[in-house]
Amino acid sequence: MSTSKNIILGVTGSIAAHKAADLCSQLTKQNYSVRVVLTADAQKFITPLPFKTLSRAPVVTDLYDETHGWQPAHIQLADEADLLLIAPATAHFIARLALGLANDALSCIALALNPRAAVLVAPAMNGKMWLHPATQHNVAVLRQRGVEFIGPEKGMLSCGYEGIGRLWPVDRIAARAVALLTPPGRTPGRRRR
């Protein structure tokens, strides 16, 4: 019987979606139970197969994906989650999260998330989109609700511009996720098995 913490890794439609596979791998190697949820836009950049292989678990790609039991997959995952990690998070998804819109599996999980679960969001987008007042307003709203943001960082963006908007380094996202799941007084990385 596993005593592993449950991480839901939400992947949205950014060119940085391919980096989420490495994030999934790093967290799984540290003995976390990782369940991946891909939005329809994320699937334009990466398929479910790498995540299924790396997490050793089914990947949720649709709100109506079947589960083995009677409970809808998005409700079961929301109930069991210890951490909802959205990486990469687009401006569009951040806006939906701030407004409480729930029209796909990932947004429904976010809205139904059990109150003890932490939420960590790693944005990735064009710098002008990140700095736009609407996005900054949505980020402020989510921070007031207890959502933690990590990044974005500055650098060359896939759109050809240089500036803020790059996904935070995957190893640092993984380290922050582990820290959020580590009880006070314990050292991250030293997990009981």
Residues of the chain with pLDDT under 70: 1-3, 66-70, 185-193
pLDDT of residue 187: 61
Residue with tokens 């003890």: 116
**Digit-coded pLDDT (tens) for 107-158:** 999 999 999 999 999 999 998 999 999 999 999 999 999 999 999 988 777 7
Give the residues across from 37 on adjacent strands: 10, 60
- Record the pTM: 0.91
pLDDT of residue 92: 97
Residues with Cβ within 8 Å of 174's Cβ and at least 6 positions away in sequence, in order, are 23, 26, 27, 30
pLDDT of residue 107: 96
Spatial distance between the Cα atoms of 91 and 131, rounded to a whole number of angstroms: 10
Structure tokens at 146: 């207890």
Nearest to 33 by CA among 62, 66, 9, 17: 9
Q: Decide if 79 contacts 119 (C-beta within 8 A).
A: no
Spatial distance between the Cα atoms of 23 and 170, rounded to a whole number of angstroms: 6
Q: What is the third-level CATH fold of 6-181?
A: Rossmann fold (3.40.50)
Share of the chain above pLDDT 90, in %: 76
Residues with Cβ within 8 Å of 88's Cβ and at least 6 positions away in sequence, in order, are 11, 12, 14, 16, 17, 19, 20, 122, 123, 124, 125, 167
Residues labelled as active-site residues: 159
